[in-house]
Amino acid sequence: MQTYDAVVVGAGYIGCAVAHALTAAGLRTVLLDQGQVMGGASRANFGNIQVQDAELAHSLPMVTAGFRRFADLEQELDCSVGYRRQGSLLLIETESQWQVMAARLPALHAAGIAAELVPAARLPELEPLLDPHVALGACYYPNEAQVSPFGLMWAYLRQARKRGLTVCADTRITGFDIGGGRVRGVRTQGEPFSAGAVVLATGAWTPALGRLLGREWAIPHVHGQALVTEACELRLNAHVSSAAFFEEAQVGPGQGGPEAALAVGQSREGHFLLGEAAQVTEDLGRHASREGGSAIARLISRCLPMLQCLRVLRAWAAPVAFTEDGLPFLGPVAGLPGLILATAFKSTVIVTPLIGDTVAQLLVSGRSDLDLTPFSPDRPANVGHDKTIPPSTSMACPVM
């Protein structure tokens, strides 16, 4: 048995950030993943540092604090992570969507977030590739940003490895060691790992791990998919997505086909990231469907017709966790001392550095500057069969 101060399970955005923060705090840490490092939902992401889909009642302090952490993150990590400012447009196609966006503005402004409603006449100025006739206008966020997903995660791992982090890929958790009334480690298909604390940053796979502990955590997931094009000289001024993400779309497991809503980004190298189709499912597979790709292509042809000539390199898909109330599962688990959850974030990238800091603070001092009460894994949750598709998961796979 190998002994550590902390075991972190899940080597995506959050797991890599947590491992980095724990090693920086002097904790001997091992990072485990059932597959390849960065092989889950985190590699299926635009890398958007976005506030547009923030849950307003409880999450704004977390989101704004996370955004501020990116100001000096490249200096902290001693390398570029592809950070660049890029505004975003949430296209509004109906009067009801306009009202929803307008109702969000006071809370955003109170939190210091720049956002404004713009009419269709201004869309060509903000995004020339967009057909302005498809929308009544948009909610414009001028200060959002983007990073390279793999660049950010590798930067965390490089620094953590310098401080002694152990990384074990292809390591599946088969159980937990519990003794003296607390979680004391994990069992795997190979050797066990003993630790003073276990952190689960496991996304859509979290409920299955919960059942090993006798817990039923209400963390459903969507099967999200997108298309990635060849690189080209066309340049996107702003990330473009749809306010339709804020409308309820009831799609239960196995019912109908994937729902599609517009989400378009671009990598630094010029590849367009076109999404997204999503369907709530029990399937944890990563296979894209023809139906999902066709739905995305129809949206792109209607909204950004100049992209119709681009060749699609591949379709991509991944399971992405969400929660009914739009809040993550973040913090200790009642009755299981030594276990911390950090999963199912509505918009993961923007909070990644902050969550690493928060988990390290919990393990070192037993407290957190961030109020974790609303995010408790033990809060009441709806576990019904029909699920509401969450706001944008930005599922397109970046081409690095």
Query: Of the residues 306, 321, 336, which one is the last residue of a structural domain?
Result: 321
Average pLDDT over all residues of the chain: 90
Residue 210 neighbours by CB under 8 Å, 6+ apart: 216, 217
Percent of the chain's residues with pLDDT above 90: 78
* Residue 346 domain boundaries: 2-77+149-219+325-375
- Contact between 270 and 129 under an 8 Å Cβ cutoff? The reply is no
Same domain, 157 and 47: yes
* Contact indicator for 135, 285 with CB cutoff of 8 Å: no
309 with 163, same domain?
A: no
Whether residue 216 has a cis bond before it, omega within 30° of 0: no
Same domain, yes or no, for 204 and 244? no
My answer on whether 287 and 310 are in the same domain is yes
Number of structural domains found in the chain: 2
Q: What is the pLDDT of residue 121?
A: 96
User: Per-residue pLDDT for 398 more than 70?
Assistant: no
Tell whether 138 and 201 lie within a shared domain: no
Q: What is the pLDDT of residues 35-88, one digit of tens each?
A: 989 888 887 788 999 998 899 999 999 999 999 999 999 999 999 999 999 899
d(CA 383, CA 306): 43
What is the reported pLDDT for 381? 63
Amino acid occupying residue 206:
T
- Residues 109, 162: one domain? no
Model confidence at 399, in pLDDT bands (50, 70, 90)? very low
How large is the average pLDDT for residues 86-91?
A: 94
Does 237 score more than 80 pLDDT?
yes
What letter would DSSP give residue 170?
S
Structure tokens at 355: 């969550």
The residue among 343, 329, 251 whose CA lies nearest residue 14 is 343
* pLDDT score recorded for residue 248: 55
Residues near 126 by beta carbon (within 8 Å), at least 6 away in sequence = 87, 89, 118, 138, 140, 237, 238
Answer yes or no: are the C-beta atoms of 97 and 262 closer than 8 Å. Answer: no
Q: Are 213 and 242 in the same domain?
A: no
Band (pLDDT 50/70/90 cuts) for residue 250 is very low
Summarize the confidence of residues 199-228 as an average pLDDT: 94
pLDDT band, very low/low/confident/very high, at 257 (cuts 50, 70, 90) = low
Residue 16 structure tokens = 């890599």
Residues 153 and 70 in one domain: yes
Nearest alpha carbon to residue 280 among 240, 253, 304, 315: 253
Q: How large is the average pLDDT for residues 322-343?
A: 96
pLDDT in tens, 336-366: 999 999 999 998 999 999 999 999 999 999 9
Range of lowest pLDDT (51-60, 94-103, 285-294): 285-294
Tell me, yes or no, whether 172 and 310 share the same domain.
no
**Pair (199, 280) in one structural domain:** no
Specify the pLDDT at position 256: 58
CATH number at 138 reads: 3.30.9.10
- DSSP letter for 143, please: T
Residue 113, token pair as written in the block: 């977030």
**Residue range 139-164: mean pLDDT, rounded:** 96
- State residue 253's pLDDT score: 44
Summarised one tens digit per residue, pLDDT across range 371-393 is 999 999 999 864 433 334 444 44
For residue 15, what is the domain's CATH number?
3.50.50.60
Which one-letter DSSP state was computed for residue 103? H
10-19, 212-221, 276-285: which range is least confident on average? 276-285
Average pLDDT of the segment spanning 272-280? 90
For position 386, what pLDDT does the model report? 33
